[in-house]
Amino acid sequence: MNNKNDSFEEFWQGIDIIKQKQSPITLIKRPKIGVQQQLFKWLKPNENKINANESSSTSPTFKKPLISVSSPSSICSCSSTSNLSPPSKKSRQFKRRHHQQLVEFQSGVKGFPSLINNNKHLLVYVIDVNKGIDDCGNSFINLKCELATQSISSKRHKVNVYLRDSWAVETPELCVRQLVRLIEPNKIDENTFEIFDSSDDDQNSCGGLLIIEPETLISSTQLAQAHYCPRKAMFQDRFRTTDTTIAMTVGTIAHELFQIALDLLPLELSSDWLFKFYRKYFLSKICPDLVGMDCSLEKFEEELRLYLENISDWIKLHHPHYKNEKENNQPIAQIRQQNNENDENNDPNLPNEPFFYSKTVDIEENIWTPTIGFKGRIDVSFMGGKNLSLCLDSNKSPLLINEQSQLVLPLELKTGKSYGSIGCVEHQTQVMLYSLMLSERANNGRLSLGFLLYLRDNKIASIHPKAVQLRGIIQMRNRLASHFSKFTIDSFPDPLRNPRSCINCPYATLCSTIALGNEISAKEEESSKNKVEIQKSRSKKFISSKNNNEDLIVIDEKIKQNGKENVARLNGINFKFFFPTSKQNI
């Protein structure tokens, strides 16, 4: 009992010290573990009651405390009538939702919104579409919409949305009851919003985004293909072919071997190790394709060996797993130095900075984002930074998502030849789209830079997303979604009509057949309209020129089963009338 008395006196001495300092945030010196456990046992109201036999003159009787030791502030605010209970534990989902309401996330790209500010998103149905021209002579589109979801913080039922600048030109035709999502639109009043292209001078507004049919997910490959031929991109989704080529098969095997080597990280990594791995696990699978392509095994393996040496050299040179004591890892790229990460117009004379590969996050990560209507599979997602020692420090936990070393970055593998230091437009589009999807998935709304690695010559290109390019990607996706959301013969985009490109297209026969059918039906419809107009003009001319001589007009009516059509013979001239009823007097 002496130990219990001493520990209890130590506890109350701590409380007296706090009262003397009159500071609610002063912490009590934590007692020993055994003392702390005893204190919490005594503070529970229905446990460890002192028996009457144990009480004596030497051991004082302990009354039920009226305070909670959960925080020093509760100690100073004692009450004699109430027993304070600890606050209820909130769920992780509640904390995330409450945190998003309090914190406004930034994308890190000037003029482009963050995708995770869900309290600034509106999901609406289109009721009416009107086009007009404002006082400055600029065209705009006025959308009258109805909210698709009712939120607690929003009591709006119908809203007006104005599309301006490039959104008024690039937005396809919208239909009634079409679902659209508004991401951070500019608020004019309680029920009016607008979406426009933000300028570089405007620091407070990003202009907003319009997503048509966000539940229609467009893949990154289809979007990249739509740069050149949107019709082919839609054919690839609707009518998939099983045709393959030697280049496609070699590219698939090279992709697989790079990802396997990056995942296993064998100590004896070399081109011979990769070739043995291919012979053991992949050769039996591709033999039927080689027979179908009439390609010999020697020719195929000769093409494949061009990539194996580059794959092993790149991984051993840049991955920290193969770091030597004598020589450090080499940076994967030299990226442009920026004074301000939100400033797109930096000084081009600034020196480049090295960027290192630190660790692999995922391989072939499949991401679906219904927020912006995209889906894609990232070849390699990794983390890196400008300082390799800081990137490899496992003791540091990234609390701020401000530096590129704390963001998940996409690495896109290409087996073709490199296109300079920036890559081709289609490949840039893919990488920027992956950065956009990762910003919502892993980076708290911040857009990271991405990399293109061409395995044929080990050239790498760094891609920095910009607001203008990202808006163009969203607008191109909207045009594709307007076609993908409906499936009819005339819903396909217009054909490219380029003989140089179309002659090698695998969908040339299908494309020409559908185009020919549409042209024939269009010509028939146009010719029928022209015949009707000619016969109507002849009838009006004849009736206006007659001199009340009804004997010259001999009328023979032929009523077809569908009605609405009368045939009259006027002095041997055949022409047609279209009446609202099947029979009508002339």
Beta strands of 256-350 (E only): which ranges? 333-335
Q: What's the distance, CA 342 to chain centroid?
A: 20
The domain that contains 190 carries what CATH number?
2.40.50.140
Gap between the Cα atoms of 240 and 243, Å rounded: 9
Do 210 and 295 lie in one domain? The reply is no
| Strand partners of residue 179 | 125
Whether 357 is covered by a domain: the verdict is no
- For residue 19, the SS3 value is helix
Give the model's pLDDT for residue 152: 44
Give the model's pLDDT for residue 436: 94
Give the model's pLDDT for residue 20: 54
What are the structure tokens assigned to 12, written together? 């109350």
Do 15 and 115 lie in one domain? The reply is no
Whether 524 is covered by a domain: the verdict is yes
| Strand partners of residue 486 | none
Do 515 and 577 lie in one domain? The reply is yes
Of 274, 294, 322, which marks where a domain is finished?
Answer: 322
Helix 297-318 with 271-281: angle, nearest 10 deg: 130
Which among 210, 206, 187 has a CA at the least distance from the CA of 467? 206
Do 70 and 107 lie in one domain? The reply is no
Contact by Cβ (8 Å): 450, 431: yes
Gap between the Cα atoms of 75 and 341, Å rounded: 47
Q: pLDDT truncated to tens, each residue of the chain (586 aa)? A: 555 556 556 666 666 655 554 444 434 344 444 444 444 444 444 444 444 444 444 444 333 333 333 333 333 333 333 444 444 555 555 555 544 444 567 888 888 999 988 888 999 999 999 999 988 889 999 999 999 875 545 555 889 999 999 999 999 989 898 999 999 999 998 889 999 998 755 556 688 999 999 999 999 988 988 888 888 888 888 887 777 889 999 999 999 999 999 999 999 999 999 999 999 999 999 999 999 899 999 999 999 999 999 999 999 999 998 877 556 788 998 887 665 544 555 555 667 888 999 999 999 999 999 999 999 999 999 998 887 655 555 444 433 344 555 789 999 999 988 776 566 888 999 999 999 999 998 888 899 999 999 999 899 999 999 999 999 999 999 999 988 887 777 778 888 888 888 888 888 888 888 887 766 666 556 656 665 666 666 555 555 554 444 444 444 444 444 444 444 433 444 444 333 444 444 3
Helix 297-318 with 246-264: angle, nearest 10 deg: 30
The total domain count for the chain is 4
Gap between the Cα atoms of 396 and 394, Å rounded: 5
Gap between the Cα atoms of 368 and 370, Å rounded: 6
Do 49 and 148 lie in one domain? The reply is no
Q: What is the DSSP letter of 327?
A: S
Give the model's pLDDT for residue 252: 94
Do 28 and 116 lie in one domain? The reply is no
Give the model's pLDDT for residue 522: 61
Do 108 and 212 lie in one domain? The reply is yes
What are the structure tokens assigned to 321, written together? 């797993």
Do 68 and 115 lie in one domain? The reply is no
What are the structure tokens assigned to 432, written together? 């920027």
Do 31 and 115 lie in one domain? The reply is no
Of 322, 339, 356, which marks where a domain is finished?
Answer: 322
Whether 533 is covered by a domain: the verdict is yes
Of 300, 322, 344, which marks where a domain is finished?
Answer: 322
Taking 3-state DSSP, the helix, strand and coil percentages for the chain, each rounded to the nearest 5, stand at: 40, 20, 45
Contact by Cβ (8 Å): 213, 485: yes
Do 64 and 107 lie in one domain? The reply is no
If one counts every other C-beta atom within 10 angstroms of the C-beta of residue 229, the result is 21
Gap between the Cα atoms of 196 and 167, Å rounded: 7
Task: Report which residue type is found at 94.
Answer: F
| SS3 per-residue string spanning 140-194 | EEEEEEEECCCCCCCCCCEEEEEECCHHHHHCCCCCCCCEEEEECCEEEECCEEE
Q: What is the DSSP letter of 85?
A: P
Which among 133, 104, 132, 135 has a CA at the least distance from the CA of 118? 104
Whether 312 is covered by a domain: the verdict is yes
Contact by Cβ (8 Å): 585, 575: no
Contact by Cβ (8 Å): 269, 312: yes
Do 137 and 207 lie in one domain? The reply is yes
Whether 518 is covered by a domain: the verdict is yes
Whether 261 is covered by a domain: the verdict is yes
Domain housing 277:
246-322
Gap between the Cα atoms of 296 and 301, Å rounded: 9
What are the structure tokens assigned to 303, written together? 């093409």
Give the model's pLDDT for residue 518: 67
Whether 409 is covered by a domain: the verdict is no
Whether 349 is covered by a domain: the verdict is no
- For residue 433, the SS3 value is helix
Scored b (16 or more CB within 10 A) or e, 82-118 reads: eeeeeeeeeeeeeeeeeebeeeebbbbbbbbbbbbbe
Do 141 and 209 lie in one domain? The reply is yes
Gap between the Cα atoms of 203 and 14, Å rounded: 52
If one counts every other C-beta atom within 10 angstroms of the C-beta of residue 529, the result is 10
